[in-house]
Amino acid sequence: MSDDALVVFLPSGKRGNFPLGTPLLDAARSLGVDVDSVCGGRSICGRCQVRLEEGQFAKHGITSSLANASEVGEAELRYANKRGLVEGRRLSCQTRVLGNLVVDVPPESQVHKQVVRKRADVRDIEVDPEVKLHYVEVAEPDMHDPSGDLRRLEQALESQWGITGLVTDLRVLQEIQQALRDGEWKATVAVREEKRLLAIFPGFKEKIYGLAYDIGSTTVAVHLCDLETGQVLASDGMMNPQIRYGEDLMSRVSYVMMNPGGHLKMTEAVRGALNGLAERVAEEAGIELTDILEVTVVGNPVMHHLVLGIDPTELGGAPFALATDQALNIWASQLDLRINPDARCYLLPCIAGHVGADAAAVVLSEGPHLRDEMSLLVDVGTNAEIVLGSKERLLACSSPTGPAFEGAQISAGQRAAPGAIERVRIDRESLAAKVKVIGCDLWSDEEGFDEAVAKTGVTGICGSGIIEVIAEMYLAGIINEDGVIGGAGRQEDPIVQDGRTFSYRLYRDDDGKELRVTQNDVRAIQLAKAALYAGVRLLMDRMGVEQVERITLAGAFGNHIDPKYAMVLGLVPDCVVSKVANGGNAAGTGARIALVNRAARREIEEVVRRIEKVETAVEPKFQEHFVQAMAFPHKSDAFPHLSEAVTLPPRGVAAGTAVAANQGGRRRRRRAS
Amino acid sequence: MSDDALVVFLPSGKRGNFPLGTPLLDAARSLGVDVDSVCGGRSICGRCQVRLEEGQFAKHGITSSLANASEVGEAELRYANKRGLVEGRRLSCQTRVLGNLVVDVPPESQVHKQVVRKRADVRDIEVDPEVKLHYVEVAEPDMHDPSGDLRRLEQALESQWGITGLVTDLRVLQEIQQALRDGEWKATVAVREEKRLLAIFPGFKEKIYGLAYDIGSTTVAVHLCDLETGQVLASDGMMNPQIRYGEDLMSRVSYVMMNPGGHLKMTEAVRGALNGLAERVAEEAGIELTDILEVTVVGNPVMHHLVLGIDPTELGGAPFALATDQALNIWASQLDLRINPDARCYLLPCIAGHVGADAAAVVLSEGPHLRDEMSLLVDVGTNAEIVLGSKERLLACSSPTGPAFEGAQISAGQRAAPGAIERVRIDRESLAAKVKVIGCDLWSDEEGFDEAVAKTGVTGICGSGIIEVIAEMYLAGIINEDGVIGGAGRQEDPIVQDGRTFSYRLYRDDDGKELRVTQNDVRAIQLAKAALYAGVRLLMDRMGVEQVERITLAGAFGNHIDPKYAMVLGLVPDCVVSKVANGGNAAGTGARIALVNRAARREIEEVVRRIEKVETAVEPKFQEHFVQAMAFPHKSDAFPHLSEAVTLPPRGVAAGTAVAANQGGRRRRRRAS
């Protein structure tokens, strides 16, 4: 036993006896300790760095000394001089066991690195991408034993990396001879799914990249990720250029119905956006487009079909049949992406005809299928995509909310852009509003507001602004539970008669130009929120629950609304307010998880398969829930948790008794408060 | 047992008892009788036709009567009215067992049809292509159980055809919804390798097609095949347009060496030819290009690399490394083929740096690996590709014959085209020649020859003509064993002094224009044939044999030379003359076999793997054999079989003693005969 030494690896605590002279990397591998290496132990990649610990390790029963490891040799010194090596770090491939050792493997040397996410309530991302780099040394051709370059490369991959049964892209064949000779028979190859040879680079290649796209009806967003560390190097977004064919989803589908074959124009448009974004993030990160080898794409069903060049007409009417609800692996070039020509693209599965790959990505990001809590995920757009459930069971549906939440169908509505009102507070006494607009940090009653917004003006109300103004109008008693705007009470009130109904004057600039909220605006929001809530309620019925324990509001809109106001309006059911979260760009995050973690792809495919799809259009109770949910918050439900967080007006005022009754109601409430 | 009946299927003789009412197709399937069906027993495709036999079948112990089968029903009648049914034929899917039956399955109703080849000495082709059609009936979408169209199609393929684990091309997804609705939820799909969904057609689709390409340096040829019957519907060929970059292989490789990246021009040129040919054969056969779903390609290594867009520079010098020596499956669109966009292309494996996929195809067509005989396959071009062996062992090499056999380096040489001399006979007394030219059936001494060739004239000598004239010159004593042209004997002889050597006047037209064979021409052929023979001899040494039992001359040139003259010149070793065959377009046939039979692909891949590659450039004995093989036939070998077939001049005349000695030699021989 004197020729053996004990080596303990931290943090795993794995240990074993090894003959003196064993390289630490080999020792780690034989114990199943997770240590990375791209170059295969040739002191080129520096991925296998470890730190040797010195001292008495009573728990492990050994004394560890730096003298128990071989000294820094020539190869390691060359690496340190060329690429730098942090004090105390050693290349485990070059360090040999000379006595008992305690070896610490830092997180960045592990194959399965973790990307820590900002939100504490979601799991971290394990980095294990579908495409990986492998450095190989290939035998030169020999006239006495002729064989193709590819065969010798395959033999090298098998003996040096244990990879067998490779399928090789044509482009690799077109480049293999030059690459092997340029690299003097050393090369780095990119292998996908442990079986597809996607690319070959001469010599040692350290980095390849991936793009995670989230294609929304309004905005297309992308993350550029380092496929080795999983880190986001750059993110960007742009307006979906399909907008010229229709503001919202259904008008784009209508465009195709009116112009057969017209979907291809939209396909071309959105693919142009994907390329534009790729160029922008590549430039920002200072990388070559040809080093991007993997792409993931999520989007709602219509976006999913359009980017694939599939006519979305079937999604425009019952029975809302998707071309496919399964995950897809295609060539990125099939989406006309001008990145590495052999890059591949993974599209997450769609859940149902109106619940898309974006909803699947939200599930992947939020992980309701991993939780005991009853979680509700809502992605609000023209259609709300709704998922409810826990690790036991998951349900999904969509609700036809229409475009009101996106600012369409609202008289003063507009897209979220500089000049749009996004925050609103209404004084409970004077009923006067103060607002905040996008692009300015000041409230409208603060010093300097007028100058700050002089450039854009105050141009309209965006989606999140509409939620706030209507919620504030309700809280201030300007509208009653039935959504009727009261008025004509006091001369000075900002409530004006507008034909047979009343409008609320939200903002008036120095020129006297006004932004108003009309009775029709309130009705449009009522219809939208009732549809959303009815869908949620349907899933709760099906699940047999009366309460949800966790709510995530996803999507560009869901991400900007204040959860409290969403609950005041009754967009979502009652819940502990602290458990209602904005999901951030949860769909984009889901795309990013699928980009850097191959197991996440199998996971979401499996989860989507077992999600039970509920079609609201054929559920008789949908209409009933819809009607009941028109009120604020709604007639049928108690909101115990909401009441703790917000001072709600007293309930029970009859609706539809027009101005006087409302005004009276408002006065009564004001007295009561 | 009275509810059962005995059914005997012919010609297999398979038999079994079946409950009355069993459809014959089901009975056949359960016994493993080979009966085709594309529509799955729906009386649509008509592939399952059988003939019921009437009478006493003592051998089978039953009496069979037409009354023992169900009568022709509505569905069968509809088929017969629509598509016709030969008298006495029944659709086995519609015919039920009502008593004992003898059922004959005609060859065209078998799944594994045979294509009979003209030559008796080669095996027939079994039709079992990589791509097959399947007719399916797909469930309509249902709001109560939402699922994508693809999922329901997959379920139909699984339940109706037992096909699982499908991977689907993007284009199918782009077309699936329209196709299913156009076909009222009936469709025919093309499935490759039992796992790739390549295409979908509304309703019932009967035929798909394939192309087998043979890309030669000079000529590109194609066969268009019916993938169901395996029959060739049209064949065509055209000159390889790469010729503008170099007449022969090595000059094209040189072009790339001089013009880096220039290979892509040749890639584009040859792909243009592939498309041109596809259009021509599709038009000739009256089919749509989009119904072509499978392609096979063979060619020598340089052609193989160029069509793939791979720089062939490495093939231009030692160690002659191929990019890959393995078979390839790619998209036809990667070769820019404008056929069905989802068609795939299979390229047979190359054997070695100078022994290409064309040689592999010749092996597949000729089947030396299936024979006990020692077979020699020779494909003559700029490089001769040589395969020697039997079922025990196979060897391959190439020999640098140069372009002489193709008419280059010959003073009066030209391509095989109208006006070129292809047949020659020399009178043993007068030494005068008569010739035949391409495009005319008359010999030059026959009535009407001058008029018949007036249009083209007699313009030169093509490759097969050169072989004949030099062989005849040797047989007539005009050249001796060493290849020296004798002359100056008789004034009237068609032998003229040409500086320090002599030339033979092969043809003179009325204007006095002459076509001569010069001493340099003879030397060029001697070098070429010595290189060819030395390669063959090297393989025979390695194999340890002194005699081959079967020779196939393949390639455009090999197909046109008279085997007898090839042996007279010593291009190939001695062999029973009846066992020396022109292989026809054996490479093209090999490509065709791989097109219609999937097992042939696995077979040739396995055979190529075990072929032992011999590199002539590093074999010291090559030079020795080469020098010895310069003589006619050659110095080192006896030609016992050749001597039986042809009257050879006596041997042993010393070479190099110039005119007088040769002339003397000729006179001696003439006296001896």
Of B308, B344, B345, which Cα lies nearest the Cα of B323?
A: B308
Residue among A150, A174, A618 minimizing CB distance to B309: A174
CATH class of B209-347: alpha beta
Residue among A318, A326, A618 minimizing CB distance to B151: A326
Instruction: Provide the pLDDT confidence category of residue A635 given band limits of 50, 70 and 90.
Output: low
CATH level 2 (architecture), domain B126-202: Roll (3.10)
Q: For chains A and B, count residue pairs whose Cβ atoms are closer than 8 Å.
A: 134
**Number of helices followed by number of strands (H, E) in chain B:** 18, 31
The correct CATH number of A359-403+524-645 out of 3.30.160, 3.30.420, 2.60.40, 3.40.50 is 3.30.420
The CB density around residue B192, as the number of other CB atoms within 10 Å, is: 22
* Residue A287 touches partner B, C-beta closer than 8 Å: no
Which chain B residues contact residue A615 at CB under 8 A? 143-144, 146
SS3 A408: coil
Instruction: Provide the pLDDT confidence category of residue A669 given band limits of 50, 70 and 90.
Output: very low
Report whether pLDDT(A30) > 50.
yes
Structure token pair of residue A3 = 């020729």
| DSSP assignment string, B516-535 | EE-HHHHHHHHHHHHHHHHH
Of B580, B575, B548, which Cα lies nearest the Cα of B561?
A: B580
* Residue B334 touches partner A, C-beta closer than 8 Å: yes
Instruction: Provide the pLDDT confidence category of residue A585 given band limits of 50, 70 and 90.
Output: confident
The answer to whether A148 contacts B615, with C-beta atoms less than 8 Å apart, is no
Mind listing the pLDDT tens digit for each residue in A297-323?
999 999 999 999 999 999 998 899 999
Q: Write down the mean pLDDT value for chain A.
A: 90
The answer to whether B325 contacts A178, with C-beta atoms less than 8 Å apart, is no
Report the DSSP pairing between strands B550-554 and B580-582. Answer: parallel
Contacts of B118 (CB under 8 A, 6+ apart): none
Distance from CA of B146 to the nearest CA of A (A): 7
Asked which of A6-15, A33-42, A231-240, B64-73 is least confident by mean pLDDT, the reply is A33-42
Instruction: Provide the pLDDT confidence category of residue B344 given band limits of 50, 70 and 90.
Output: very high
Instruction: Provide the pLDDT confidence category of residue B469 given band limits of 50, 70 and 90.
Output: very high
* Residue A165 touches partner B, C-beta closer than 8 Å: no
Q: Which amino acid, residue A452?
A: A
Asked which of A338-342, B43-47, B305-309, B364-368 is least confident by mean pLDDT, the reply is B43-47
- The beta strand positions in B120-185, using DSSP E, are 125-127, 131-137, 167-168
Is the fold of A4-109 the same as that of A209-347? no
For every residue of B79-102, which 3-state class applies, written as one string?
HHHHHCCCCCEEECCCCEECCCEE
Instruction: Provide the pLDDT confidence category of residue B557 given band limits of 50, 70 and 90.
Output: confident
The CB density around residue B28, as the number of other CB atoms within 10 Å, is: 25
Mind listing the pLDDT tens digit for each residue in A64-113?
988 899 999 999 999 999 888 888 899 999 999 999 999 999 888 888 77
CATH class of B4-109: alpha beta
Cα A261 from Cα A244, distance rounded (Å): 16
Hey, where are the domains in chain A? 4-109, 126-202, 209-347, 359-403+524-645, 420-520
Distance from CA of B464 to the nearest CA of A (A): 33
* Residue B609 touches partner A, C-beta closer than 8 Å: no
The answer to whether B144 contacts A168, with C-beta atoms less than 8 Å apart, is no
The answer to whether B148 contacts A326, with C-beta atoms less than 8 Å apart, is yes
Which chain A residues contact residue B177 at CB under 8 A? 310-311, 313-314, 321, 323
Query: Would you tell me which residues 629-668 of chain B have a C-beta closer than 8 angstroms to some C-beta of chain A?
Result: none
Cis peptide before B319 (omega within 30 of 0): yes
* Residue A148 touches partner B, C-beta closer than 8 Å: yes
Structure token pair of residue A525 = 């929001």
Percent of chain B beyond pLDDT 70?
Answer: 95
Q: CA-nearest residue of chain B to A143?
A: B319
Mind listing the pLDDT tens digit for each residue in A522-545?
999 999 999 999 999 999 999 999
* Residue A178 touches partner B, C-beta closer than 8 Å: yes
Structure token pair of residue B182 = 């156009």
Instruction: Provide the pLDDT confidence category of residue B636 given band limits of 50, 70 and 90.
Output: low
* Residue B155 touches partner A, C-beta closer than 8 Å: no
Which chain A residues contact residue B618 at CB under 8 A? 143-144
Distance from CA of B264 to the nearest CA of A (A): 11
Cα A327 from Cα A304, distance rounded (Å): 11
Distance from CA of B382 to the nearest CA of A (A): 20
ipTM of the complex: 0.86
